[in-house]
Amino acid sequence: MSNSAIEEILASLVAIDTTSSKSNLRLIDFVRSYLAGLGVESELIFSADRQKANLWAAIGAAGPGGLILSGHTDCVPVDGQDWTTDPFTLSEREGRLYGRGTADMKGFLACVLAAVPDIIAGGSRRPVHIAFSYDEEIGHLGVRGLTAELRRRGAKPGFCVVGEPTMMGIVIGHKGGRSYRCRVTGSSGHSSLAPRAVNAIEYAAELITEIRRLSADLATGPIDTAFDVSHSTISTGLIEGGSAINMVPHTCSFVFEYRNLIAVSQDAIFARIERYAKDMLEPRMKAIVADSGISFEPLYDYPAHEIDPHHPEVLRVKRILGRVDDSKVAYGTEAGAFSRDLGVPTVICGPGSIAVAHKADEAIEREQLQASHEFIVQLAASECP
């Protein structure tokens, strides 16, 4: 398929505002209609409120094995960004196509859809699946429902490519991520009587200090030098509390997140923080005011991912792309869900640069789209026995 056909599809996708706060059903309807026009049936796995949906489709013969081409449909907001073009109208300058989501990751979605006629013509005897998800940008929410449904059915795909923007490089691993909002509830009082109250900010500060100690411990290992930051990390990013200088603060909340290597347990990291809160801080708080305490609200959670660089599927991708190199990235993708929840060997490889994702004047090169399209067609063709 020509670049103009890919761009036509991309223009339609960009024109549909799928910022994560909005429904993605218009885009999903467009994709379903496009696939139906080519004789490909698809099904939807809805969110609980049915305002969003994952799309799952299979091209070729039904059965185990085969390929998954995975991408998310949502994008980040444009609010407050200084765009020089309309972010929801695809525009071109000097071989680059501008618009929200062009790189992250509607460019890949367009390449997948444009490749469908070639995949059909190729007649693979193993299925080629399309998996388009919702709400990746706000916690990898949609893919959980998709993998849960596939696991319930006993689906056994053979390989998955997640088309996040890698400039068509081969990414074999990424860190996991988890975030919590911690709420410290104390008791208020006049600051002249501070010892009789429970200062929520001060107890929050003690817990944040423990998180800082944990950060130093994580820096000692495990280590993976394939990452820019070779160890797991944890940090506090937001804090709010207090109402007046002469009042003991009743409440304080803060948000922390961690990015972990696959060798480091996400649960173990949280367990240390929770244990410190429950065993060290709460008893002192409750000795002053019985109903004071500390609680945690999960915000997002996605698993780390890793695949052996010598795995047969990685070697197949390298042969098709004519590359011998691979890398790991700190940002998260849906690859971890496919590998953890379904046991599917997965790599991340897609068109465009992560450096322009989430920024004003997000853009993708035409050459990247063409390279991605050719890769998808060749990869699907290699599914033929």
Residue of 7, 104, 135, 136 with catalytic role: 136
Amino acid at 180: Y
Greatest extent of the chain over all pairs of C-alpha atoms, in Å: 80
Q: Cα–Cα distance between 336 and 232 in angstroms, integer?
A: 16
Active site residue 202: no
The DSSP-derived string for 192-205 is GGGGGSB-HHHHHH
Q: Cα–Cα distance between 174 and 199 in angstroms, integer?
A: 39
Cβ distance 259 to 233 under 8 Å? yes
In angstroms, the Cα distances linking 115 to 5, 69, 111, 273, 291 are 10, 11, 6, 48, 60
Q: Which of 141, 73, 144, 133 is nearest to 300 (CA)?
A: 141
What is the per-residue burial (b if ≥16 Cβ within 10 Å, else e) of 230-245? ebbbbebeeeebeeee
**Tokens standing for residue 18:** 């799928």
Active site residue 136: yes
Q: Cα–Cα distance between 64 and 343 in angstroms, integer?
A: 13
3-state SS of 216-260 is: HHHCCCCCCCCCCCCCCEEEEEEEEECCCCCEECCEEEEEEEEEE
Amino acid at 272: R
Q: Which DSSP state fits 355?
A: G
DSSP SS3 for 181: strand
- Rg (the chain; Cα; Å): 24
Residue of 7, 17, 74, 224 with catalytic role: 74
* Helix and strand counts by DSSP (H, E) for the chain: 10, 18
Torsion of CA 233, 177, 138, 273, to 10 degrees: -70
Catalytic residues: 74, 136
